[in-house]
A and B are shown apart, each in its own frame.
Chain A
Amino acid sequence: MTYQGWALILLFVAMTTALAKPMGMWLFALYEGRTTPLHRVLGPVEHGFYRLAGIDPDEEQGWRRYAVHMLLFNVALLLLTYLVLRLQGVLPLNSREFSGMNADGAFNTAVSFTTNTNWQWYSGEATLSNLSQMLGLAIHNFLSSATGIAIAFALFRGFARKEVKGVGNFWADMTRVTLYLLLPICAVYAIFLIASGVPQTLAASVDATTLEGARQTIALGPVASQEAIKMLGTNGGGFFNANSAHPFENPTALTNFVQMLSIFAIGVGLTWCFGKAVGDTRQGWTILAAMLFLFLLGTAFTYWQEAAGNPLLHGLGTTGGNMEGKETRFGIAASALFAVITTAASCGAVNAMHDSFMPLGGMVPLFNMQLGEVIVGGVGAGIYGFLLFAILAVFVAGLMVGRTPEYVGKKIEAREVKLAILAIAVPPLVILGMTALASVLPAGLAGPLNKGPHGFSEILYAFTSGAGNNGSAFAGLTAGTPFYNGLIGIAMWLGRFFVIVPVLAIAGSLAAKRYTPATSGSFPTTGGLWIGLLVGIILILGGLTFLPSLALGPIADHLAMVQGKLF
């Protein structure tokens, strides 16, 4: 580890914290439906869309209607992408003449992008036309993020409102977030990326003759426009196979730093927005503090592991940290930091290959996802996931002191706790159940590239990433088979919507409740004690659920490695 590495990490944390309030204020304006300066330009687009679609943006929806409308919109988008991918061969902008995707591949990819996962069984530059990238995939990068933020807004309203049925209007929330937040930031962001070297062209490739006289086909495309929303919306689906490790997606150390910041930007803003929505910004700062504490723990551990390097290669006479799968321009610190950020959030973009991380260095990204991606988390998904843990934590605190638990002015009762447990329990069930299945069936065992415990880690990582809607991979796994495409496709769908629907039910249930002012007997939900309780609940729950599987994967891998055992 170097002081430069730590300077990078600390600067990142400082700038992330500094972003929370300005981003939060903007989000709060959209949460409230206020008019922003951007309405002058984009207002007519917003209202034109409502008129054509027959939407009344002021109609208050109960949680059921909000959920049904959200689901149907997502199904419509899923079908659109499925068709674009299947029909790729006859659609325009396909100069490299790729044929349509097969059925299980298109199903997996359509689900993947609809659910904000962006798991990619395929290699972008060898499979997809420019039209498929733009029209099939990039639209989801906007709309799945906007959906996540809309769900978070609905839950905030549940806490903030008193004795009402409505939790907002899905169409208005989703449209406003897309038009006034995601699109304008991405336009500016993409220009910055182009200036830094990220291609933006409709040409699909160019042929070069290298210095040694060989032919090199260089894949190109409209990369920058997709890259911007890929990071800002915590989507993570790369234009190219190598994702943000590819020099065309992430050409410099500066683009790398901005990409890392943009993964967290909206997530930290939502913590502040939550505090503001419930009338006490300290609530938001407290959540952010708990998140950043967990984040720094993971970052320090991974950085330490990667900087120490691979003892097996040191034994052969190499010097330096673990550079397998890492880019020279980023080095160890920025690669370790990126890996922790992308899995703390449900982004899944990678600037280094997680499969080649040290066993324990790669365990942190895996464990981050298993904790439910609540350390800042995906846009919207992070904060609503975290609030589920907060509900659980006040419940546990309530059991200890023998009072009905309260959180930010609402009594937490059996219905909310049951729903929260349901939403928290579904992803682990999916992850462990499907990993177990793949670990015994021949079709599952055909997947891993690496042998021994590392191969098990590849399978465990795949289902964790799918159910957690992350999308990063231990990419040695050959995932483009009907078995994995089907199973991971189902995992992604369950991990997304079997969390969202209970969250909306909680929102509806809370919105109907009276406001319960805090008394001297209420458990305080700001400050150190509360942070400790939250962190404890998250770690204990994640640890109890997943430590056995981690022992079979990364921990066994590490122990074998230090013994010098090769697989």
Chain B
Amino acid sequence: MREETWYKMLIVSTILHFFFIGMFSIPIKKASRRIDLSSSYSVNLVGDMGGVFKGQQENGLSEGRDLPVKQGPVTKKERLPAKRKNAPVRKEKEAVSLSKHKILEKETTTKEELSRLEERIREIKKKTNYFDITQAKRTGGSSSGLRPGVSGSGLPVSSGGGARPLDPVSQKYILDVWEKIKDTWGLPGITSSKQPLETVVTIKIRKDGRIVDINIEKRSGNRIYDESILRALRTVELSPIPASLNTDMIEIGFRFLPGDVS
């Protein structure tokens, strides 16, 4: 076979490849919305201030829940069993949210699913000390001097060290964390979306100020928006947890609204 034919065909083949790759990248982009997690898997931990949470807030929520925090320096190996201990707590959160979603999104979940979930919630409630994080949020939010219900304020919520009301030190620390995240967070240029963007993320901060766990509890539905938040959380550098708090790990939930950054 002549060499020139070989080269010609090689070029044709390469062009064909790039053409097809380019073509395939378009449908995947559109179809990626379908991969979006079903609402029953996302957890609305610190979502709406009113409405949905009212019932739960009125309930007696004084029962405390202690996060199983491991003492001493947390190495990678040691962290794994600690996480496992966390598992029931996580389940509880998820289950709580599922019951909320029952009210919110009846059309997306079937009755069968709901009854199964309710059963699970009851089970988990029995096993663990039930605690609603929104209560902590309300206490923390109003006493920290922040205007409660201010639009766009991603009020942080802490469950570090249990359900005790937030002391000024931790409030200050959490506000500090929030400020730093806000500074790092750059809003992507696609906020012209019609739907209201709201992402709820919980992070775990280690004693030395490192974020060891990022959990998206509620997605906004806009992936670029979610990604920008995750990127900010991955890059942000936080100050260590004040020694006076006497805790090794602190878990904070944030609500990100586009209004936070302006």
A, B: real partners: no
Q: Residues of A with Cβ closer than 8 Å to B?
A: none
